[in-house]
Structure 1
Amino acid sequence: MSEDLEPVADRPLEPVDDVRGSALVDWDFAAATATRLAPAGPRASRAEIADLVADLRSAAARAVEPVAQTAQLSTPPGTPEALVVDRAGWIRANCASMGAMLEPVLDEVVAKKRSADRARAQQAGRELPDIGATSQAISAKVTGTEVAGLLSWISTKVLGQYDLAPQGNPTLMFVAPNVLAAERELEVDPGDFRLWVAVHEETHRVQFTAVPWLREHLIERARSMGTRIMPEPDDLGRRLREIATALPGVLRGEEDITQVVATPEQRERLAEVTAVMSLLEGHADVVMDEVGPSVIPTVAEIRRRFTQRRKGAGSVDKLLRRLLGMEAKMRQYQDGAVFVRGVMDEVGVEGFNRVWTSPETLPRPTEIADPQAWVARVHG
């Protein structure tokens, strides 16, 4: 299902030398492999695809005004229009963004590892061997294959995304085959469902375009968290044993994978990032529902069926969600929405929008479950 969909251009990373961590993953290979692995999507005629693409573009444009009125935030003029892509386009965009996001993280990890290896070599009175180009290329493709497997699965789930694109220009995307598959599965009104999805994603776009500091803040925090969560070279064996011991609990849904891979200190940092993500996802969920039946007549029915769909995932699907930490993301929607509604009940939309003032006014981890605590801290 690729006819008439806008391509997302490949954005290959710059060549790297043999000791840089950014060469640990062959992102171009990952994108190509994930594209081959990803299912094509639901069957549709050229006419159906053309209508779907046109309707998603229209929905993206029509979502701007109701989101601005409901959220009391506006996407600035001149913001690029949304793209409608297939699964391959989504994969290419996310490989480029993941590569750019992780490059400094992986560079630091490899630098630590090389430094530790160099110290051991000096103590042993020998030279630190160079990393062979052939060996590194093979390793990068192996890692790229693992990334491809994850992305190929995720590419079938995402309806839309505001890509922060650390390496370039942020883009709002809609994944056409996934929208079509979801609306058919849910048996909802296609026009209403497409606009409902567009409202959610437009809310994410307005969060980052109306609040200029937020994008760089989130990128920096994510990179910092990634660097901190990587184990020190000497600690890698112990950490792997701990993860292996905890894995059965993760698979049973008793533990969160993001908590398993982090130390107690790292969990505090992770909780700060999670609080922001809960805010963003919960705010988008609230806005998409608050837009109301005057704009989306069947919004209540769509929400009911969509929520039921989230709960009704199959056993394999649930297993993969647990391993990827996506169950935690589902909770972010719920916890964040409770926080947003709780604050709005106390101080209204204008009072809630104080949250966007600075990093200091973002909710703290304990405040996500206690909106009144945020109101007391920020509003006094």
Structure 2
Amino acid sequence: MTPKTHSDSGTSRFSVGHAVDWNLAATVGGKLARQEPKATDYTRRQTIEQLAQSARDSEIPVREVTGLIEGGEIPEARIVNRPDWIRAATQSMRAMTGGTHDRDVKPRMITGRIAGAQTGAVLAFVSSGILGQYDPFSGDGELLLVYPNVIAVERQLRVVPGDFRMWVCLHEVTHRVQFRANPWLAEHMSGALAVLTEDGGEDLTKMVGRLADYVRDHQVVVKNGEPELNSTGIIGLLRAVQSEPQRQALDRLLVLGTLLEGHAEHVMDAVGPAVVPSVATIRARFDQRRQRKQPPLQRLLRILLGVDAKMSQYTKGKAFVDEVVGKVGMERFNAIWTDADTLPQPREIDEPQRWIDRVL
């Protein structure tokens, strides 16, 4: 079996998934992951059991509030620690970027190991902040809940543990319901990712030229003698070195991510009061935690990894869903899941009435 290639004007394109040593990424990430919060065996066991039960209990309320009734059995969540999550993330990223588990397909020796080590280091950093994740690319889909991080955050926020665990599960189970009720979403996402992760072998001078044009046309704010970039600026720089098809693919992913996260946030609050008595306290403290200032190095890493962009997705996406559902109700809102043409366009995320006028 050989790596998938595409022909474009005689240029071979190799999927990024074949250029990374994913096994090394998992090993390095596991070794570099931050130490997990101290907890007794009883606390760990109770958290694992309660997260598993909360994931099961969340499914029916989420289906009822969203109206996305896919009819399948309620699958079990997988409760993991940080190294387990990193290992699962490398497998998912391999699948998303066109890689393969075939032992006969080897990444480029030196660059593959370097890329694997770098990927592992990034995942190690991210692994301490992930509460849960639905992976639509692993078999029939898999819901992961990272119990050490749940323990750490509920302690930091000083909230009722049982309520917080249910609240987290409501968000992640919503993602599971979104994808299981609308199987085309995973294909739509993987199609955009395939375009983004193709290595077209473009002349470096052309990429640098586009980057220079972007910097010239979008004056960068300078503070204390150094350029300052927010998450929006990072996305702009990324777009500057991309081809037009890649820019369009990035737009599709950003819009889809904003919709999925905003929809999950909306559902958390809609379901919350019925099953999470302290939901108002949790929401207020969790939002404060998202907005708190970070040390400079951590702030830079968050920007480079797109963490702040994801926070923006939560806010903008929830505002979009709140407004549309408030105006037309959840049943009519669900027209959004029909196909790629009914997903919101970038401008419609900020102006929901435009989506209502176009689709409904």
Bin for the TM-score computed over the shorter chain:
0.7 to 0.9
Partner of 2:343: 362
- Tell whether 2:203 aligns with 1:233: yes
Q: How does 1:56-205 map to 2 (within 5 A)?
A: 56-103=51-98, 136-165=108-137, 168-205=139-176
Fraction of identical pairs, as percent: 39
Q: Is the 8 A contact 2:234 2:304 kept in 1?
A: yes
Describe the SS at the equivalent of 1:161: strand
Partner of 2:37: 42
Partner of 2:8: none
Deviation at 1:236, TM superposition (A): 6.0
Q: Is the 8 A contact 2:163 2:277 kept in 1?
A: yes
Question: What are the ranges of 5 or more consecutive residues in structure 1 without an aligned counterpart?
Answer: 1-13, 106-132
User: Who wins on radius of gyration, i.e. which is larger?
Assistant: 1
Partner of 2:265: 285
Q: How does 1:233-312 map to 2 (within 5 A)?
A: 233-235=203-205, 238=208, 242=212, 251-253=228-230, 255-263=232-240, 265=244, 266-312=246-292
Deviation at 1:243, TM superposition (A): 10
- Tell whether 2:185 aligns with 1:224: no
Q: Is the 8 A contact 2:211 2:237 kept in 1?
A: no
Deviation at 1:361, TM superposition (A): 0.8
- Tell whether 2:21 aligns with 1:29: no
Deviation at 1:33, TM superposition (A): 0.6
Moved more, 169-178 or 218-227: 218-227
Deviation at 1:273, TM superposition (A): 2.2
Deviation at 1:271, TM superposition (A): 2.3
Deviations 1:67-101 (A, max 9, x none): 11211113532353110001111111110111122
Deviation at 1:267, TM superposition (A): 3.8
Look up the equivalent residue of 1:162 and give its one-letter code.
Answer: Y
- Tell whether 2:299 aligns with 1:318: yes
Equivalent pairs, count: 335
The TM-score with structure 1 as length reference comes to 0.81
The TM-score with structure 2 as length reference comes to 0.85
Superposition RMSD in Å? 2.8
Structure whose residues are more often strand by fraction: 2
Describe the SS at the equivalent of 2:330: helix
Of the three residues 286, 308, 312, the one matched with 1:327 is: 308
Describe the SS at the equivalent of 2:79: strand
Partner of 1:113: none
Of the three residues 323, 333, 339, the one matched with 1:342 is: 323
Question: What are the ranges of 5 or more consecutive residues in structure 2 without an aligned counterpart?
Answer: 5-11, 101-105
Q: Distance in 2 between matches of 1:26 and 1:289?
A: 41
Q: 1:146 to 1:242 in 2, by over 3 A?
A: farther
Deviations 1:293-325 (A, max 9, x none): 221100011000000001114223222111112
Moved more, 71-80 or 288-297: 71-80
Describe the SS at the equivalent of 1:151: helix
Q: 1:267 to 1:16 in 2, by over 3 A?
A: closer
Deviation at 1:231, TM superposition (A): 6.6
Q: 1:244 to 1:231 in 2, by over 3 A?
A: farther
Deviation at 1:270, TM superposition (A): 2.2
Q: Is the 8 A contact 1:339 1:368 kept in 2?
A: yes
Q: Distance in 1 between matches of 2:232 and 2:65?
A: 36
Describe the SS at the equivalent of 2:276: coil
Q: Is the 8 A contact 2:232 2:309 kept in 1?
A: no
Q: Is the 8 A contact 1:256 1:322 kept in 2?
A: no
Deviations 1:229-285 (A, max 9, x none): x67134466269649967978754275312202138454442232111111000000
Q: Distance in 2 between matches of 1:43 and 1:243?
A: 50
Look up the equivalent residue of 1:52 and give its one-letter code.
Answer: T
Deviations 1:18-58 (A, max 9, x none): x9654421100010010000023100111111100000001
Describe the SS at the equivalent of 1:103: coil
Moved more, 311-320 or 349-358: 311-320
Q: 1:155 to 1:313 in 2, by over 3 A?
A: farther
Q: 1:371 to 1:244 in 2, by over 3 A?
A: closer
